[in-house]
Amino acid sequence: MAQVDLENVSRTYSDHVDVHALRSVTLSLEPGSFVAVAGPSGSGKTTLLNIIGGLDRPDQGVVRIANLNLTSTPPDQLADFRLRHIGFVFQAYNLFPVLTAMENLEFIPALQGMPKAERLRRAETLLEMVGLAEIRDKRPNEMSGGQQQRVAVVRAIMTEPEIVLADEPTANLDSASASVLLDMMAELNRQKGITFLFSTHDPLVMERARRLIRLKDGAVVSDENRDPEPAKAAR
Amino acid sequence: MLISASGYAALPDAHELVTKTDLALRGKTQQGKASMTVRTPDWERTLEMEYWSVNPEKTFILITAPAKEAGTSTLRIGSNMWNYLPKVERVIKIPPSLMLQPWMGSDFTNDDLVKESSLVNDYTHEIVGEVVEGGDACYQVLATPKPDAPVVWGKLVLAIRKSDYLPRKEEFYDEKGELRKVLTYEDIRKAGGRNCPMRWKMVSVTKPGHETVLVYSDLKFDLKIPDRIFTQRNMKRPF
Amino acid sequence: MLFLSMAWRNVWRNRRRSLLTIVAIALGLAFNIFMRAIGDGFHEQMVDNSVRSHIGHLQIHGGGYHDDPGLNKTLPSPDQVQRAIERLPGVRGYSMRVLGDGLASTAENSAGVAIVGIDPQQERTVTTIDHGVVKGEYLKPGQARPILIGDRLAINLKADLEDKVVLMVQAADGSMGADLFRVVGIFRSGSPELDRGMVFLLRHDAQTLFSLDGRITEAVVLLHSSLQVPTAQEVLKAALTKQNVEVLTWYEVEPFLLQFIELDDAFFYIIVVFFFVVISIGILNTIMMSVFERVREFGVMMALGTKPRQIIKLVVEEAFVLGMTGVVIGCSIGVAATLYYASHGMNLSAWGEGAAALGMTSTVVYTKLTAANLLISDSSVLAVVMLVGLYPAIYASRLRPVEAIRHV
C155-212 tens-digit pLDDT: 999 999 999 999 999 999 888 899 999 999 999 988 888 999 999 999 999 999 999 9
| Subunit contact A98:C300, Cβ cutoff 8 A | no
The widest CA-to-CA distance across chain C, in whole angstroms, is: 101
Closest CA to B31 of B49, B61, B52: B52
In a 3-state reduction of DSSP, which class is residue A64? strand
Which residues in chain A have their CB less than 8 angstroms from residue C306's CB? Answer: 79, 83, 111
Contact C171, C155 (CB under 8 A): no
CB within 8 Å of C16: residues ≥ 6 apart: none
End-to-end CA distance of chain A: 10
Which residues in chain B have their CB less than 8 angstroms from residue C109's CB? Answer: 93, 95
Q: Which residue of C has its CA nearest to B81?
A: C110
Contact C183, C147 (CB under 8 A): yes
In a 3-state reduction of DSSP, which class is residue B196? strand
CA distance B111 to B216: 21
The pLDDT of residue C179 is 93
pLDDT in tens, C10-25: 999 999 999 999 999 9
CA distance C21 to C16: 9
The confidence band for B238, taking pLDDT boundaries of 50, 70 and 90, is low
H, E, C per residue of C203-250: HHHHHHHCCCCCCCCEEEEEECCHHHHHHHHHHHHHHCCCCCEEEEEH
The confidence band for B2, taking pLDDT boundaries of 50, 70 and 90, is very low
Average pLDDT over residues B150-179: 91
CA distance C257 to A131: 78
Contact A152, A95 (CB under 8 A): yes
Residue numbers of C between 246 and 305 with CB closer than 8 Å to A: 296-297, 300-305
Range of the domain at B29: 12-224
Tell how far CA C399 is from the center of its chain: 51
The pLDDT of residue C15 is 92
Contact C304, A88 (CB under 8 A): yes
H, E, C per residue of C114-126: EEEEECHHHHCCC
The pLDDT of residue C351 is 59
Residue numbers of C between 67 and 126 with CB closer than 8 Å to B: 70, 72, 103, 105, 107, 109-112
Say how many domains are in chain A. Answer: 1
What does pTM read for this prediction?
A: 0.70
CA distance A79 to A55: 8
| Subunit contact C175:B105, Cβ cutoff 8 A | yes
Indicate if the pLDDT at residue C395 is higher than 80.
Answer: yes
pLDDT in tens, A112-136: 888 999 999 999 999 988 889 899 9
CATH number of the domain bearing residue A61: 3.40.50.300
Contact A154, A127 (CB under 8 A): yes
Element (H, E) at B128: strand B123-133
According to DSSP, residue A186 is labeled H
The pLDDT of residue C357 is 56
Residue at A209 is within a domain: yes
| Subunit contact B40:C174, Cβ cutoff 8 A | yes
Hey, is the C-beta of A196 within 8 angstroms of any chain C C-beta?
no
Hey, is the C-beta of B11 within 8 angstroms of any chain C C-beta?
no
Beta bridge partners of A220: A215
Q: Which residue of C has its CA nearest to A100?
A: C6
The pLDDT of residue B4 is 46
Indicate if the pLDDT at residue B3 is higher than 80.
Answer: no
The pLDDT of residue C85 is 94
Contact B136, B156 (CB under 8 A): no
Q: How does A19-50 read in b/e, with b if 16+ C-beta sit within 10 Å?
A: ebbbbebebebebbbbbbbbbeeebbbbbbbb
Which residues in chain C have their CB less than 8 angstroms from residue A55's CB? Answer: 303, 401-402
CA distance A161 to C73: 91
Handedness of CA B195, B201, B202, B206 (dihedral sign): negative
Say how many domains are in chain B. Answer: 1
Q: How far is C344 from chain A (nearest CA, A)?
A: 47
On the CB side of C127, how many CA atoms lie within 13 Å of its CA?
Answer: 27
The pLDDT of residue A135 is 92
| Subunit contact B94:C175, Cβ cutoff 8 A | no
Write down the ipTM of this complex.
Answer: 0.89
Among C2, C293, C400, the residue to mutate for chain A (most A Cβ within 10 A): C2
pLDDT in tens, A71-104: 888 877 888 888 888 999 998 888 999 999 999 9
On the CB side of C4, how many CA atoms lie within 13 Å of its CA?
Answer: 4
In a 3-state reduction of DSSP, which class is residue B119? helix
CA distance C257 to C44: 11
CA distance A25 to B137: 119
A219-225: strand order across its sheet: A86-89, A163-167, A195-200, A34-38, A211-216, A219-225
| Subunit contact C180:B104, Cβ cutoff 8 A | no
Beta bridge partners of B224: none
Encoded amino acid at B43, one letter: W
Which residues in chain A have their CB less than 8 angstroms from residue C307's CB? Answer: 76, 79-80
Minimal Cβ distance to B90: which of C109, C166, C174: C166
Contact B168, B159 (CB under 8 A): yes
Query: How confident is the prediction for chain A on average, in pLDDT?
Result: 87
Q: How does B162-186 read in b/e, with b if 16+ C-beta sit within 10 Å?
A: eeebbbbbbbbbeeeeeebbbbbbe
Indicate if the pLDDT at residue B1 is higher than 60.
Answer: no
Which residues in chain C have their CB less than 8 angstroms from residue A88's CB? Answer: 300, 303-304
Minimal Cβ distance to B87: which of C72, C107, C179: C179
End-to-end CA distance of chain B: 61
| Subunit contact C304:A107, Cβ cutoff 8 A | yes
| Subunit contact A83:C305, Cβ cutoff 8 A | yes
CATH number of the domain bearing residue B147: 2.50.20.10
| Subunit contact C103:B72, Cβ cutoff 8 A | no
Handedness of CA C231, C233, C235, C238 (dihedral sign): negative
CA dihedral C110, C115, C121, C127 (to 10 degrees): -100
Range of the domain at A27: 4-91+162-225
Query: How confident is the prediction for chain B on average, in pLDDT?
Result: 88
H, E, C per residue of A84-115: HHEEEECCCCCCCCCCCHHHHHHHHHHHHCCC
Which residues in chain C have their CB less than 8 angstroms from residue B74's CB? Answer: none
Hey, is the C-beta of A99 within 8 angstroms of any chain C C-beta?
yes
Beta bridge partners of B90: B85
Which residues in chain C have their CB less than 8 angstroms from residue B206's CB? Answer: none
Indicate if the pLDDT at residue A230 is higher than 80.
Answer: no
Residue at A149 is within a domain: no
C157 or C362, greater pLDDT: C157
Contact C17, C25 (CB under 8 A): no
Q: Which residue of C has its CA nearest to B37?
A: C174
CA distance C59 to B126: 52
Q: Which residue of C has its CA nearest to A50?
A: C402
Q: Which residue of C has its CA nearest to A81?
A: C305
Counting one residue from chain A and one from chain C, the pairs whose CB atoms sit within 8 A come to 60
Quote the percentage of chain C above a pLDDT of 70.
Answer: 96
| Subunit contact A55:C401, Cβ cutoff 8 A | yes
In a 3-state reduction of DSSP, which class is residue B226? coil
Among A106, A107, A151, A155, the residue to mutate for chain C (most C Cβ within 10 A): A107
The pLDDT of residue C206 is 96
Q: Which residue of C has its CA nearest to B106?
A: C174
Handedness of CA C289, C294, C298, C303 (dihedral sign): positive
The widest CA-to-CA distance across chain B, in whole angstroms, is: 69
The pLDDT of residue C158 is 94
Quote the percentage of chain A above a pLDDT of 90.
Answer: 31
Residue at A118 is within a domain: no
The pLDDT of residue B52 is 93
Minimal Cβ distance to C110: which of B44, B66, B92: B92
Which residues in chain C have their CB less than 8 angstroms from residue B69's CB? Answer: 175-176
CB within 8 Å of A14: residues ≥ 6 apart: none
Our answer on whether B and A touch (3+ beta-carbon pairs < 8 Å) is no
Query: How confident is the prediction for chain C on average, in pLDDT?
Result: 90
Average pLDDT over residues C292-310: 91
Minimal Cβ distance to C175: which of B45, B95, B102: B45
The pLDDT of residue C350 is 60
Which residues in chain C have their CB less than 8 angstroms from residue A53's CB? Answer: 303
Minimal Cβ distance to B85: which of C72, C166, C175: C166
Say if residue B56 is preceded by a cis peptide, omega within 30 of 0. Answer: yes
Closest CA to C127 of C86, C92, C157, C102: C92
pLDDT in tens, C367-379: 888 888 889 889 9
Residue at B238 is within a domain: no
pLDDT in tens, C36-73: 888 888 888 888 888 998 999 999 999 899 998 989 89
H, E, C per residue of chain C: CHHHHHHHHHHHHHHHHHHHHHHHHHHHHHHHHHHHHHHHHHHHHHHHHHHHHHHCCEEEEECCCCCCCCCCCCCCCHHHHHHHHHHCCCEEEEEEEEEEEEEEECCCCEEEEEEEEECHHHHCCCCCHHHHEEEECCCCCCCCCEEEEEHHHHHHHCCCCCCEEEEEEECCCCCEEEEEEEEEEEECCCCHHHHHHEEEEEHHHHHHHCCCCCCCCEEEEEECCHHHHHHHHHHHHHHCCCCCEEEEEHHHHCHHHHHHHHHHHHHHHHHHHHHHHHHHHHHHHHHHHHHHCCHHHHHHHHHHCCCHHHHHHHHHHHHHHHHHHHHHHHHHHHHHHHHHHHHHCEECHHHHHHHHHCCCCCCEECCCCCHHHHHHHHHHHHHHHHHHHHHHHHHHHCCCHHHHHHCC
CB within 8 Å of C25: residues ≥ 6 apart: C279, C283, C322, C323, C325, C326, C327, C330, C381, C385
Indicate if the pLDDT at residue C332 is higher than 90.
Answer: yes
Hey, is the C-beta of A160 within 8 angstroms of any chain C C-beta?
no
Contact C31, C334 (CB under 8 A): yes
| Complete DSSP assignment for B45-111 | EEEEEEEEEETTTEEEEEEEESTTTTT-EEEEETTEEEEEETTTTEEEEPPGGGTTSBGGGSSSBHH
